[in-house]
Amino acid sequence: MVPTQTLAEEILDLKKQRNAVILAHHYQDSEIQELADVVGDSLELARKAKDFSGEVIAFCGVWFMAETAKVLNATRTVVVPDKDAGCSLVDSCPVEQVRAYKQRHPDHVIVSYINTSVEVKAESDILCTSRNAAAIVNSIPADRPILFLPDINLGNWVKKETGRQNMKIWQGACVVHATFPARRVVAGQHGHAIFSLEASFQIEEKGLEHQFPMPLDVPGPEGLPTQRELLQRASHVPEAVRRFWARERPLEIRPVNLAHYESRDKLPPRQNVWIRLNGPVPKERALQSVLLAYLSDMTLLDTSTFAHGRGLFDPDIQAASLDHAMWFHRSHPLDDWLLYTQDSPSASGSRGFNRGALYARDGTLIASTAQEGLIRLRRQPK
């Protein structure tokens, strides 16, 4: 029986038959990048194709990238897997509007970022990349007004770098980058990075909505003992830990599941915890998110010890939060108790993996969490 070819083998065979080269953009999946002859950004790929002696260029990217490759390789056939693979930045700059602008302002020099359609490129005086955009603008006589397109963010940066006052900026943007901006923060101590934060932000918008319902069999927080009270009467908790939790804190925790505070039985790795802040909460949405993130670290890692009849307060366990991810679904003033439902699907390699959902008292799902933490058994000296 003749073995069946894999899809990758079929692609490589077709590439050989057509005397083709495969170019893949950085954004492509790793499986596609592994098949490619060259991986890079759009302009780099188009330039690399000029060094190729074959007949066909298979461009794994969006449509304008394939157009650029065709411009630089006019005698070769350029194919793109999906003609509808577009770019919102390119779409934000229609050629009809560019032509109308040129008619109104014939004295303006049109400087276009490479991420434009081939029609807009044809209407432009100079093309640039993000790397040379500032140098290109500086090369234009100071008395010549400029229209920079299509990216408002790159245009604003170029205007700031060059100090060019007579430069108009097209109001175009990538929908993904504009809607979901990101920030990265690294904190260091004694010359070493000890904390890394990556956050993305979105403008609120209407859309499809659903959520998992809040568990219905959970008693309310009124009448439940606080975590401090449970630790005070638990016989297996070291005195140092008891004193630690006896301090005044800006929050109150009332566990619903009490068995792991009172025994060392192996229990299902799940728990429900009521939690709230003590005192007034600022009305600013950003500060409320910060406080909710602070709350979300409380008790979550504990859940990964339940299946083993252990606890984070055991003297032979070394515990610490390692990776913590959080998704803010809906706003909440944080002026009442929140139910924190938690489970631990896995523990291995001295690490416990935990998931959580934070509900308002009325059942609204406010946020979801996922955390992996250290739960290492300390080795006793021999």
Under 8 Å CB-to-CB from 121, ≥6 apart: which residues? 68, 71, 112, 127
Q: What angle do CA 198, 201, 207 make, to 5 degrees?
A: 135
Question: pLDDT tens digits for the chain (382 residues)?
Answer: 455 678 888 989 999 999 999 998 887 888 888 888 988 887 788 778 788 878 899 989 888 888 888 888 888 899 988 888 888 889 999 999 999 999 999 999 999 998 899 999 999 999 998 889 999 999 999 999 999 999 998 999 999 999 999 999 999 988 776 666 777 788 877 777 778 888 888 878 889 999 999 998 899 999 888 877 777 776 666 666 667 667 778 888 898 987 877 778 899 999 999 999 998 999 999 899 999 999 999 999 999 999 999 888 788 889 988 999 999 999 999 999 999 999 999 999 999 999 999 999 999 999 999 999 999 998 755 5
CATH of 18-79, one of 1.10.10.10, 3.40.50.1100, 3.40.50.970, 3.40.50.10800: 3.40.50.10800
CATH code, 223-377: 3.10.129.10
Cα 351 from Cα 354, distance rounded (Å)? 10
Ordered by start, the domain boundaries in the chain are: 18-79, 89-176, 223-377
Do the domains 18-79 and 89-176 sit in the same CATH topology, yes or no? yes
Q: pTM for the whole thing?
A: 0.59
Topology, domain 89-176: Rossmann fold (3.40.50)
